[in-house]
Amino acid sequence: MIYIYDGTWNGFLTAVHHYYYDRENITNIESALSCSPNLIDEYREITADIDKAKAVENAIRVKISYESLDNILRCFFSEIAGREMWILNYIKLGFKIGSKIDSMLGTQTVLDVLIPARKVKSESHLMLGILRFELLENNIYYAPIKPDHNIITFIAPHFKERFADQNWVIHDIKRKLAALYNKKNMIISYMDLADIPDRHADELKFQSLWKNYFKHIAIKSRINPKLQKQFIPKRYWKQLTEKN
């Protein structure tokens, strides 16, 4: 049996709930967004249920630990293929041995979750430092990003706290996912933001000043592109004003 869910966190946790309560022998859990059904396997479509999802979240928090729930969440949003069964196996082990699971670094079941989780945590931390907002003509600050993992859930709260007095949008172009904040509330939703207004005239002026400043403080004899790539991989440079 293969469970098919809607690709969301709540949909996935609902599938985990059905695994425990329906006691079916499942071989995989797959997102409907990437699943390619065949004629051999048996499939069951799982409908997201917020109550069932919250029950699983609470069980992980109580029976394992809050830290484990955080690792599971980050692993899920890594979007690495196969993560659903890695997480299910991790939960099954965690329910047996409790909070000491994350100290078992020699266990593949644990590493399968911790390694993707750390990749997401590392990219989220990096993005907090390199994300650049641009002022648009409608006086909304806009930051386009193209992260490897689905990290917008983890970074948006940081900017909500730091730029609470501004209207802003963080737009994951790769996934057509955006965090929108209007000085009061923040929402994260899939949406098509194709018609982005032009940059504000002041933004262009300040970007020019910043590039000029960056150029003139650089000591040519000490420019080390190899070291720069180690600190910030080149695929992220398009987000940096000083590199464009």
- Same domain flag for 114 and 136: no
Domain's final residue, options 76, 91, 119? 119
Q: How many percent of the chain have pLDDT more than 70?
A: 100
**pTM summary value:** 0.86
- Same domain flag for 161 and 89: no
Q: Is residue 236 very low, low, confident or very high in pLDDT (cuts 50, 70, 90)?
A: confident
Q: How many percent of the chain have pLDDT more than 90?
A: 72
pLDDT, one tens digit per residue, over 83-115 is: 999 999 999 999 999 999 989 999 999 999 999
Rounded distance, CA 27 to CA 9, Å? 19
Q: Is residue 126 part of a domain?
A: no
Q: Is residue 61 very low, low, confident or very high in pLDDT (cuts 50, 70, 90)?
A: very high
Q: Please give the C-alpha separations between residue 145 and each of 16, 126, 155, 162, 178, in angstroms, as whole numbers.
A: 31, 12, 11, 18, 10
Q: Is residue 124 part of a domain?
A: no
Q: Is residue 125 part of a domain?
A: no
- Same domain flag for 207 and 107: no
pLDDT, one tens digit per residue, over 170-214 is: 999 999 999 999 999 999 998 888 788 888 988 888 888 888 888
- Same domain flag for 111 and 23: yes
Domain interval for residue 44? 2-119
The predicted pLDDT at position 53 comes to: 97
Domain count for the chain:
2
